[in-house]
Amino acid sequence: MARITIADWCDFVRGLADPALEKSILEHLSKSEDAPGSTLRLMKHVEAAAKQDREHVVPKEAVQGAQAIFDLWRPEAAPFRLLPFDLTFDSFRQAPLAGTRSSPSTNRQVIIETVDFIADIHLEQTTYPDGRAVLGQLLRRGESNQPVPSATILVLCKNGQVNRTKTGQFGEFQSVALEDDPLALFMLVNPGDCIRLSFVDL
């Protein structure tokens, strides 16, 4: 007799097995030890649970209530305007000092400037368990380069993780304990204005 697959067991429990397969499984159960019987009981429990799920109906009033709430507070699309910037400094592009010997650093510093803002950004390996961090400071350009407090900062990582923080009193921010390498940094500097820095494209 051919080996009974998990798909065959599922069809048997759900009553979808063809007569030949059903006969084969019944003969197998009558001659086997308890292991196949345990498999059958488990599959029947799974089928019973799935059937209960299918029979569960969400009350119509709950659906109507959710729809009404969504209509009252429907989110509005608010696309951000991406601000162009110049990369004015990148530590990875700096030539090593003549006569010095050093191992390549995994830490990186970049400085970008828009018409109105300056961002000093550091990508670092840290002592945190996950070992990655994005630190920086956001300033408004001018004679004294005033800090930009309470700006929303988003860091998107390769695994889809999104780390959210805000700048402090002096425009500083940090996203630590990142679970994967950062892909991009979003700085929401004004209502509707965003600076997007892609680390992949640097």
pLDDT tens-digit map of 59-99: 887 777 777 777 766 666 667 899 999 999 999 888 766 65
**pTM of the predicted structure, to 2 decimals:** 0.58
User: What pLDDT does 197 receive?
Assistant: 94
User: What pLDDT does 136 receive?
Assistant: 96
Confidence of residue 32 (pLDDT cuts 50, 70, 90): low
Going from N- to C-terminal start, the domains of the chain cover: 6-72, 81-198
Neighbour count for residue 123 (Cβ, 10 Å): 23
User: What pLDDT does 110 receive?
Assistant: 96
**Measured between alpha carbons, how far is residue 76 from residues 63, 72, 73, 79 in Å?**
21, 11, 9, 10
User: What pLDDT does 186 receive?
Assistant: 93
The full 3-state SS of 74-107, as one line of letters, equals: CCCCCCCEECCCEEEEEHHHCCCCCCCCCCCCCC
CA distance 120 to 81: 21
User: What pLDDT does 105 receive?
Assistant: 64
Chain position carrying tokens 């608010």: 78
pLDDT digits (tens, 9 = 90+) for 123-172: 987 665 556 889 999 999 988 899 999 999 999 888 777 888 999 999 99
Mean pLDDT rounded to a whole number for the chain: 81
CA distance 102 to 98: 11
pLDDT digits (tens, 9 = 90+) for 12-27: 777 778 888 888 877 7
CA distance 14 to 25: 13
Per DSSP, the residues of the chain read -PPPPHHHHHHHHTT---HHHHHHHHHHHHHS-HHHHHHHHHHHHHHHHHHHHHH----HHHHHHHHHHHHHTPPPP-PPEEPP-EEEEEGGGSPPPTT---PPPS-EEEEEE-SSEEEEEEEE--SSTT--EEEEEEEE-SSS-EE-TT-EEEEEETTS-EEEEE--TTSEEEEES-SS-EEEEEEEEETTEEEEEETTT-
Say if residues 137 and 127 touch (Cβ distance below 8 Å): no
User: What pLDDT does 60 receive?
Assistant: 81
